[in-house]
Amino acid sequence: MQSKLPHVGTTIFTVMSKMANDHGAINLSQGFPDFDCPLALRELVNTHLNGGKNQYPPMTGVQPLREAIANKVATLYGHSVNPDTEVTVTSGATEALFDAIQASVGPGDEVIVFDPAYDSYDPGVRLAGAIPVHVPLSLPDYRIDFAALEAALNPRTRMIVINSPHNPCGSVIASDELDTLAELIRDRNIVILSDEVYEHMVFDRRSHCSVLGHPELREKSFAVFSFGKTYHATGWKLAYCVAPTELSAEFRKVHQFVTFTSVSFLQYAIADFMRDCPEHATDLSAFYQTKRDRFCELLQSTKFTFTPSAGTYFQLVDYSQLSDKPDMEFVTELTQQHGVAAIPLSAFYEQPPNSHIIRFCFCKDDSTLVAAAERLQAIT
């Protein structure tokens, strides 16, 4: 059988987490917390699990959750969305990204992704028969190079994928950059796929600028968000997409034949938690900034160099003072010999630059970060 993804192997996250487990390393590679989700949320899950909410929920998501999402979008981004026609709950953000791509592009179409890019974008485009066009972000700040973007646009361009706050780089798109993007595509038949799963992790008094808060872009965008990231429950694989009615209708055509629907009692529990504990989401940036600052403070005593992340729970570091080895070779040595797992930045590029950058995850208990830092500090 001929492979539809001949150049795709096992995702780097699976590879590095397995390596960490095999060698007893502290796993700062894959982005999941080593602390639990809120007790009040777990109690709500138990209530609905034992309260009869165990059969198929509606394909688009349960009504209370879609209404809670609509209320949140109105409160945070000033945009009134219809919970019945513009909000769809999915089994994780990866599914939502896939659904949006499959619903929007086909053979011969081009989709622009910005490198370094989250690793699910390119395969999703290829499975749709479309062509991924990789445009590098500008260095060293990992921002959109709008001159390069404009040069890549042509009549075949059907979608642009943006990601803010950005995984793996931690950069954050500003409102004026959304203005520039809107201007570039104003007279073109192009949709935006906006990956905003780290929306509640923006630091240093910045604000998250969602496409939903942009009057022009929100009319031609799929915006994807993650409950797993926000509520420290990545294993639940629950997310959602907000898009105009016409785009949502096409999105749902795909969604219904990918997962059809998502876990019922989790949806009811999250709907209640969003209503009862909205401060969890609004306080999350401060929570993770404290962890970022602590981790960066610990890294000061190592030979890694870095600029503190502007968002997400990831921190890029440069290891060139320690080694000139390629990044995959370095993280393998780091995991197997020094007991700390990280992700090589080259895994997010079509054509990796000649750099020595890796990604650490700091969504860990403080004791984990301290233990990891002690091992990193010992590397000479």
Decide: helix, strand or coil at residue 258.
coil
At 182 the pLDDT is 98
Hey, where are the domains in the chain?
12-30+283-377, 39-277
Q: Band of the pLDDT at 324, cuts 50, 70, 90? A: very high
CB atoms within 10 A of CB 366: 14
Instruction: Using DSSP bridges, classify how beta strands 191-195 and 239-242 pair: parallel, antiparallel or unpaired.
Output: unpaired
Q: What is the mean pLDDT of residues 150-179?
A: 98
pLDDT value at residue 154: 97
373 band by pLDDT with thresholds 50, 70 and 90: very high
Single out the residue of 227, 195, 204 nearest to residue 311, CA to CA. 204
Supply the pLDDT for residue 78.
97
> 3-class SS at 86?
coil
Q: Tokens standing for 46?
A: 């138990």
What is the tens place of the pLDDT at every residue in 328-338? 999 999 999 99
Q: What's CA 268's distance to the chain center, in Å?
A: 23
To the nearest whole number, what is the mean pLDDT of the chain? 97
In the numeric block, the tokens 């040069």 are attached to 151
Once rounded to an integer, what is the mean pLDDT over residues 353-369? Answer: 95
pLDDT given for residue 355 in this prediction: 87
Give the residues across from 193 on adjacent strands. Answer: 161, 222
| Rounded (10°) angle between helices 327-338 and 12-23 | 20
Which tokens go with 210? 């969602």
Residue 215's pLDDT band (cuts 50, 70, 90): very high
Using the structure block, give the residue that is written with the tokens 């361009």.
157
* Among the four given CATH numbers 3.40.640.10, 3.50.50.60, 3.40.50.410, 3.40.920.10, the one describing domain 39-277: 3.40.640.10
Instruction: Report whether pLDDT(8) > 90.
Output: no
The four Cα atoms 288, 292, 295, 299 give a dihedral, to 10 degrees, of 170
Helix (H/G/I), strand (E/B), else coil: 276? helix
**pLDDT above 90 (res 236):** yes
Name, in order, each residue with C-beta under 8 angstroms of 142's C-beta and a sequence gap of 6 or more. Answer: 116, 166, 169, 170, 171
Q: At 1, is the pLDDT very low, low, confident or very high (cuts 50, 70, 90)?
A: confident
Report the C-alpha gap between 226 and 312 in whole angstroms.
12
pLDDT at 52 over 90: yes
Architecture, CATH, for domain 12-30+283-377: Alpha-Beta Complex (3.90)
pLDDT higher than threshold 90 for residue 354? no
**pLDDT-derived band at 139, boundaries 50, 70, 90:** very high
pLDDT level of residue 155 (50, 70, 90 thresholds): very high
Q: Is 254 exposed, middle or buried (0-12, 13-18, 19+ CB in 10 A)?
A: middle
Residue 2 identity (one-letter amino acid): Q
The pTM score is 0.96
The span from the CA of 165 to the CA of 197, in Å, is 8
Average pLDDT rounded to a whole number, residues 354-378: 96
Is-contact 159 124, C-beta < 8 A? no
Q: Are strands 343-344 and 110-115 parallel, antiparallel or unpaired?
A: unpaired
**9 pLDDT higher than 90:** no
- What percentage of the chain has pLDDT greater than the value 70? 100
CA diameter of the chain:
58
pLDDT at 7 exceeding the cut of 90: no
Alpha carbon distance 193, 318 (integer Å): 30
What confidence tier does 295 reach under pLDDT thresholds 50, 70, 90?
very high
Give pLDDT, residue 2: 87
